[in-house]
Amino acid sequence: MLKKNSKISVTRRRHKITELLRDNQEVNIPELAQLLGTSEMTIRRDLDLLAEQGYVRRTHGGAAAAERMEFQFDFVERRIRNHKAKQMIAAEAVKLIMPGQRIILDTGTTTLELACLLKNFERLTVITPSLAVASVLQFSTGIQTILLGGVIRKGSPDLTGVVAEKVLDMFMVDIAFQGADGIGLNGELFNSDMRIAQVDTKMRQRAEKTYILCDSSKVGKLDFASNGSLSEVNALITDSGISNEAVKSLKKLCHNIIICPL
């Protein structure tokens, strides 16, 4: 049951409508008017505006979440999943970066946490296929951010394809930081998307060192597209949720496994 709100500002009211859609999938105008303490005409105007902006899809008598809003909800949910582990992994990874270096930040929510720690760095060049990473760094005066070209991957703020791979051929970097959707106990690295796997393979070829940033929930998990092995990287940085059995197995391929305490 939705809780009635006292009268609120226009911005807050529209934000509340999006929150209600997230929790209830579909809303109707009379109920929204009552809950938000305003007229049905005002709610209609709000929904019309949100529809024009791509956040909602108008239905008979109300609205449902549009694809844009569903994507944002999904991205936020993925980002907060195992959030503490991702923050600890990013805090360990940032210790490896020195001013003046050139680095690649892969797509993914753990590399996004690392980007958040770089905002005040000086004399750093960051190359990324991630629109989210570029957005975090765009106002950082000490960082030169290079956004790869390519095709925007449906359902994710990432650039992939031949253009991204060709642009990577223009550069050599000190470090590449990559995520993974899965790491087999045999050390095999996986992505959920074949196009991302191809870009990740190219990244390692253009970096002197590569570090995999991956929370322990991905270890032992297989996914759609293989992009290489832990034997090709300098270290895996994960969290203390990883099992002793997994560590023993993975160390046969990658001797340097950095485990962050939770």
pLDDT digits (tens, 9 = 90+) for 3-41: 555 557 888 888 888 888 877 778 899 999 998 989 999
What the block records as the tokens of 244 is 């002793």
- State the helix-helix crossing angle for 10-24 and 40-52, rounded to 10 degrees: 80
Which of the two residues, 113 and 81, has the higher pLDDT score? 113
63 Cβ neighbours under 8 A, 6+ residues apart: 17, 21, 26, 27, 47, 50, 51, 56, 57
Model pLDDT, residue 7? 58
Instruction: Report residue 8: phi and psi, to 5°.
Output: -130, 170
Check pLDDT > 70 for residue 76.
no
Asked whether the beta carbons of 145 and 135 are under 8 A apart, the reply is no
Length of the chain: 262
Give the strands of the sheet with 188-191, arranged side by side.
Answer: 182-183, 188-191, 225-229
Residue 144 confidence (pLDDT) = 97
Q: What is the pTM of this model?
A: 0.77
75 pLDDT above the threshold of 70: no
Among 129, 113, 131, which residue's Cα sits nearest to residue 71? 131
Left if phi > 0, otherwise alpha if psi is -120 to 50, otherwise beta: which for 187? left
Over residues 228-245, the pLDDT tens digits come to: 999 999 999 999 999 999
Which domains does the chain show, CATH number per domain?
10-74 (1.10.10.10), 81-260 (3.40.50.1360)
CA angle 178, 159, 199 (to 5 degrees): 45
State residue 73's pLDDT score: 57
Residue with tokens 């305003």: 38
Rounded CA separation 70/194 (Å)? 23
pLDDT digits (tens, 9 = 90+) for 190-214: 999 999 999 999 999 999 999 999 9
Please compute the mean of the pLDDT values over residues 133-150 and round it to a whole number: 94
Q: What is the pLDDT of residues 33-51, one digit of tens each?
A: 998 989 999 999 999 988 8
CA-derived radius of gyration, the chain: 22
- Mean pLDDT in residue range 209-225: 96
Closest CA to 219 of 193, 198, 247: 247
- What pLDDT shows up at residue 10? 86
Query: Residue 13's CB: how many other CB atoms inside 10 A?
Result: 18
Annotate 235-257 with b (16+ C-beta within 10 A) or e (fewer): bbbbbeebeeebeebbeebbeeb
For all residues of the chain together, what is the average pLDDT? 90
Please check the confidence at residue 2 and state whether its pLDDT lies above 60: no
Average pLDDT in the 85-102 region? 97
Q: Give residue for tokens 């060709």.
A: 166
Q: Can you tell me which residue has the tokens 């505006």?
A: 49
Tell me the pLDDT band of 71, cut-offs 50, 70 and 90.
low
Over 90: is that where the pLDDT of 1 sits? no
Class of residue 61 by CB neighbours under 10 A (exposed 0-12, middle 13-18, buried 19+): exposed
**How many Cα atoms are found within 13 Å in the side-chain-facing hemisphere of 172?**
1
Note whether 143 and 156 are within 8 A (CB): no
pLDDT at residue 183 in the model:
98
